[in-house]
Amino acid sequence: MSNVAIRNLQIQLGGNKVIESLNLDVKAGEFVVLLGPSGCGKSTLLHSIAGLIDTTSGQIEIGGKDMTWADPKDRGIALVFQSYALYPTMNVEANMSFGLRINGTPKAEIARRVARASDMLQLGPLLKRKPANLSGGQRQRVAIGRAIVREADVMLFDEPLSNLDAKLRTELRRELKQLHKQLGATMIYVTHDQVEAMTLAQRMAVMKGGVVQQFDTPANIYSEPANLFVATFLGSPGMNLFKGKLEQEGGRTVFRNDHMSVDVTDYPFKQQPAGKHECVLGVRPEDIDVGNCDGAENVVCASVSLIEAMGAHRVLWLDFHGTQVAGIVQDQQHLETEKDISFSIRTKRISLFDGASEQRL
Ligand SMILES: Nc1ncnc2c1ncn2[C@@H]1O[C@H](COP(=O)(O)OP(=O)(O)OP(=O)(O)O)[C@@H](O)[C@H]1O
Ligand SMILES: [Mg+2]
């Protein structure tokens, strides 16, 4: 097992600054996910760790050694691409063992490794087939198998499941998690799918414009997003946002706008705000109580504009003075569109962001 430490990494491609002074510490044996919108630099970062792209400045350390300029084959890493990149003329067994054969690994050792990987990935019955005769999920398993046989300390995955249908994606996701436990390798996994990120990651780095916005456990990032971008990137529906001002009133701190006022005195401010402060209040749909709000604080009124039945729960869209507010309803209460309904915000679960910097307060 090897750790991966990235220090002040900068990468320019064709005059574009794609990665900017990026720092990331991945512990040995950890499963880290890089999550971010298309074009934010996830693949570039992964490829630079693999040694497929030159860094402009900064350092990449793998297993405690400076590997910034090391040859890809000397880095102790294996990379799985989104496109399976299998050799069409070779069968599954030959595809998996190809890398080992060209670097002169003894035959018996190759057989042991291929058997182990095909066991793990249930590829045994497919070993003699060519890629053209495999399903997408099976091809991706072979591509993963090819990475496993290298017995690398660090495994890198670039959106390996994005070409698969939803059901297969969920299955392979579970298998990958299991594989991580069995292999104990350090894994860095790129995706723009938040469900994949939340379920696989021990820690995840949310990226935007080549910059890591937050690096923490999925649970912490979800409940305490570091800024407005992270807050809205995660969650479906996303976090509800209300613009307003923080005001000091007789020892209390109150969030206020034209339509609501919320006492936020007990909010764990990083720094106590002084005077009036432009601010955005965020609350997740599951932290909005709809209907039965008797006795709750901060009750306001809205009208139901849409009800989405999701099976286990319903998503309720509320028209609140022209803003669409999403709430999640678990119970069986009778709801109709166009009807007025009250809702309240669970004050203990809110996030507050600075109106100008958009950073968490
Ligand atoms: N060779 C290149 N020359 C110039 N710009 C490049 C080059 N390769 C990538 N870029 C730019 O770098 C940025 C990051 O690309 P990258 O492929 O790392 O994004 P990504 O996060 O992996 O996106 P996706 O989710 O779509 O795969 C993009 O804006 C892209 O246009
Ligand atoms: Mg990419």
**pLDDT average, residue stretch 74-88:** 88
Q: Give the model's confidence band at 1: pLDDT under 50 very low, under 70 low, under 90 confident, else very high.
A: confident
Query: Is residue 296 over pLDDT 70?
Result: no
Query: Is residue 122 over pLDDT 90?
Result: no
Beta carbon of 210 within 6 Å of any ligand 1 atom: no
Q: Residue 185 is part of a domain; what is its CATH number?
A: 3.40.50.300
Domain termination site, one of 182, 205, 233:
233
Please, are residues 255 and 281 in contact by the beta-carbon 8 Å criterion? yes
Ion ligand 2 — residues with CB < 5 Å? 43
Report the residue count for the chain. 361
In terms of domains, do 77 and 113 share one?
yes
Of 12, 42, 83, best ligand 1 pocket probe by most atoms within 8 Å of the beta carbon: 42
Identify the pLDDT of residue 298.
Answer: 72
**pLDDT average, residue stretch 94-113:** 92
CA 188 to centroid of chain Cα atoms: 11
In terms of domains, do 169 and 211 share one?
yes
Identify the pLDDT of residue 283.
Answer: 97
Q: 133: how many CB neighbours lie within 10 A of its CB?
A: 12
Most confident of the ranges 45-49, 72-76, 132-136: 45-49
Decide if 165 is inside a domain. Answer: yes
In terms of domains, do 227 and 245 share one?
no
Beta carbon of 284 within 6 Å of any ligand 1 atom: no
In terms of domains, do 70 and 171 share one?
yes
The first and second tokens of residue 78, run together, are 């294996």
Beta carbon of 191 within 6 Å of any ligand 1 atom: no
Phi, psi dihedral angles at 272 (to 5 degrees): -60, 125
Closest residue by CA, ligand 1 atom 27: 38
Percent of the chain with pLDDT strictly greater than 90? 69
Tell me the pLDDT of the chain averaged across its residues: 91
Identify the pLDDT of residue 190.
Answer: 96
In terms of domains, do 128 and 247 share one?
no
Q: Residue 246 is part of a domain; what is its CATH number?
A: 2.40.50.140
In terms of domains, do 218 and 332 share one?
no
Of 10, 33, 44, best ligand 1 pocket probe by most atoms within 8 Å of the beta carbon: 44
The first and second tokens of residue 100, run together, are 């080992």
Decide if 188 is inside a domain. Answer: yes
**pLDDT average, residue stretch 165-194:** 90
Ligand closest in space to the Cα of 16 = 1
**pLDDT average, residue stretch 229-246:** 95
State the distance from the centre of ligand 2 to the C-alpha of 55, rounded, in angstroms: 17
Decide if 361 is inside a domain. Answer: no
Decide if 360 is inside a domain. Answer: no
Query: Is residue 225 over pLDDT 90?
Result: yes
Residues of the domain holding 46 = 4-233
Closest residue by CA, ligand 1 atom 31: 39
Of 9, 11, 18, 49, best ligand 1 pocket probe by most atoms within 8 Å of the beta carbon: 18
In terms of domains, do 173 and 310 share one?
no
Closest residue by CA, ligand 1 atom 14: 41
Q: Give the model's confidence band at 297: pLDDT under 50 very low, under 70 low, under 90 confident, else very high.
A: low
Domain termination site, one of 205, 233, 261:
233
Beta carbon of 332 within 6 Å of any ligand 1 atom: no
Beta carbon of 16 within 6 Å of any ligand 1 atom: yes
Give residue-wise pLDDT tens across range 152-166.
Answer: 899 999 998 887 788
In terms of domains, do 191 and 246 share one?
no
State the distance from the centre of ligand 2 to the C-alpha of 141, rounded, in angstroms: 20
In terms of domains, do 346 and 197 share one?
no
Q: Give the model's confidence band at 295: pLDDT under 50 very low, under 70 low, under 90 confident, else very high.
A: low
Query: Is residue 109 over pLDDT 60?
Result: yes
Query: If you search the block for the tokens 């109150």, which residue do you land on?
Result: 254
Three-state secondary structure of the chain: CCCEEEEEEEEEECCEEEEEEEEEEECCCCEEEEECCCCCCHHHHHHHHHCCCCCCEEEEEECCEECCCCCHHHCCEEEECCCCCCCCCCCHHHHHHHHHHHCCCCHHHHHHHHHHHHHHCCCHHHCCCCHHHCCHHHHHHHHHHHHHCCCCCEEEEECCCCCCCHHHHHHHHHHHHHHHHHHCCEEEEEECCHHHHHHHCCEEEEEECCEEEEEECHHHHHHCCCEHHHHHHCCCCCCEEEEEEEEEECCEEEEECCCCEEECCCCCCCCCCCCCEEEEEEECHHHEEECCCCCCCCCEEEEEEEEEECCCCEEEEEEECCEEEEEEECCCCCCCCCCEEEEEECHHHCEEEECCCCEEC
Domain termination site, one of 189, 216, 233:
233
**pLDDT average, residue stretch 166-177:** 86
Closest atom, ligand 1, to C-alpha of 47: 18
In terms of domains, do 75 and 177 share one?
yes
In terms of domains, do 119 and 175 share one?
yes
Closest residue by CA, ligand 1 atom 8: 13
Q: Give the model's confidence band at 336: pLDDT under 50 very low, under 70 low, under 90 confident, else very high.
A: confident
Q: Give the model's confidence band at 229: pLDDT under 50 very low, under 70 low, under 90 confident, else very high.
A: very high
In terms of domains, do 217 and 119 share one?
yes
Q: Report yes or no on whether pTM surpasses 0.75.
A: yes
Domain count, the chain: 2
Q: Give the model's confidence band at 294: pLDDT under 50 very low, under 70 low, under 90 confident, else very high.
A: low
Decide if 167 is inside a domain. Answer: yes
Give residue-wise pLDDT tens across range 24-66.
Answer: 999 999 999 999 999 999 999 999 999 999 999 999 999 999 9
CA 338 to centroid of chain Cα atoms: 36
Decide if 359 is inside a domain. Answer: no
Decide if 147 is inside a domain. Answer: yes
State the distance from the centre of ligand 1 to the C-alpha of 67, rounded, in angstroms: 22
Q: Give the model's confidence band at 272: pLDDT under 50 very low, under 70 low, under 90 confident, else very high.
A: confident
Percent of the chain with pLDDT strictly greater than 70? 98
